[in-house]
Amino acid sequence: MKLAFDAPLEAMSAEERRLLLERRPPVAEGVREAVAAILADVRARGDDALRELARRHDGVELDELEIPRARWREAARRLPADVTGALERAATNIAAFHRAQLPADWEMETEPGVVVGRRRVPLASAGVYAPGGLAAYPSSVLMGVIPAREAGVGEVVVCSPPGPDGDPPEAVMAACVLAGATRLFAVGGAGAVAAMAYGTDSVPAGDAVVGPGNRWVTEAKRQVAGDVVIDAPAGPSEIAVVADDTAPARLVALEMVAQAEHDPDASAVLITPSARLAAEARRELGVIVAGAERRRVASEALAARGAIVLTRSLDEATGFARAYAPEHLALYVADPDAAMEQVPTAGTVFLGPASSVAFGDYMTGANHVLPTAGLSRSYSGLSADHFVRSFTWQRILPEAAASLARPVARLARLEGLPGHAETALARITP
């Protein structure tokens, strides 16, 4: 089993370190310009531009972009009972987790007679992108729509690419019913991001655009980020497993392959102070990949960005994981809670070998839309917070106003703003 790096950490060259730590894929030549052109075209021509994109990229002729709610319900009725049950269980957990995140309003008195506070209000509308094409991702619909609904967003629009019949995948349509989406459109790619950000005759403009997608969708979200809220400019999936002698080697290897099967650009890294575990995990990787259904994809990913990093201590392992800043961090060590304190730079953390990333991807309730490529140093995973905004309020009683007036006037004049000084001084009671 070929890996990009498989050696002690101290043997890592500067180039190997760069390869593992600097994972943000460069924007392919021409993609930035092409996405900018799509955004401009959708803003200028609206639905006509979206229909043309569907003809060109999806091979379908769309009379109407919106999918009637009756077709969602039909799709939901056709789902196998066990799939419906699994989606309903996931939806219940996602709703409970994101409902608990909602912050309370608060106020405080900074000095006598000066009361300031903060209020949170939901965004009016939001757009959720659900990837389509060759695969269906109903879980991404749940992860995007439910937090918005729990935050109190009134209109939650879903866009997903049309299939050969002009509709998004049936599982995506069914998930829209379960999640509580308000409208669904058969629109994909950068055009969908443009439509949800700026609006067309059919697609309403939103205050936020969230959800995973390919490089075109990611680049489009980067370009609209100055106009609407986005979750994060996420890239290919990734995992770092920090493990010690207590970790089962097969479970470590299974987690690495599970992320590697996503995409040839995915990353999977084991960081361990145990030479025995490193050797056993290496053998297990070879066996699992050889029998994997997505063997080619997993092999390519591991050869490009897979690694077994042998460290001199667990502290050194958590230090490298902190620098790696992964989307998914699995802590298969004797004391995972203590190790988590050492690695605050992860999108989500799985504590102990029973905690598979797959459970978080689908069922635990935590969100699977997460920052990648080291962006967890700056970004958080998608949450209810993405769908609310805050404003502050201030109440100043007359006695406090008189006390504030002169020092405020002094600072205002220092900054060359005499009007500010006069309005402050006018609050002094004669």
Which is the catalytic residue, given 170, 238, 261, 327? Answer: 327
Would you call 111 a catalytic residue per the annotation? no
Which segments within 273-366 are labelled E, that is strand? Answer: 306-310, 328-332, 348-351
Q: How far apart are CA 222 and CA 32, in angstroms?
A: 10
Report the chain's terminal Cα–Cα distance, integer Å: 85
Residue 193: count other Cβ atoms within 10 Å of its Cβ.
Answer: 32
- Residues 205/211/212/213 CA torsion (nearest 10 deg): -20
Would you call 328 a catalytic residue per the annotation? yes
Question: 66 pairs with which residues across the strands?
Answer: 185
The answer for 136, left when phi > 0, alpha when psi is -120 to 50, beta otherwise, is beta
Return the structure tokens found at 414: 């220092």
Largest CA distance in the chain: 87
Q: How far apart are CA 149 and CA 210, in angstroms?
A: 13
Which segments within 234-278 are labelled E, that is strand? Answer: 238-243, 267-272
Q: How far apart are CA 236 and CA 216, in angstroms?
A: 13
Q: Is 56 helix (H, G, I), strand (E, B) or coil?
A: helix
Closest by CA to 235, choosing from 259, 254, 256, is 259
The distance of Cα 99 from the centroid of its chain, to the nearest Å, equals 18
Return the structure tokens found at 391: 């404003």
Q: How far apart are CA 25 and CA 266, in angstroms?
A: 10
Which is the catalytic residue, given 98, 262, 328, 386? Answer: 328
Query: Which phi and psi (to 5°) does residue 146 adopt?
Result: -60, -45
Closest by CA to 9, choosing from 329, 330, 317, is 317
- Residue keyed to tokens 């629109």: 187
The sign of the CA dihedral 358, 361, 364, 366 is positive
- Residue keyed to tokens 């790696």: 324
Please give the positions annotated as active site.
327-328
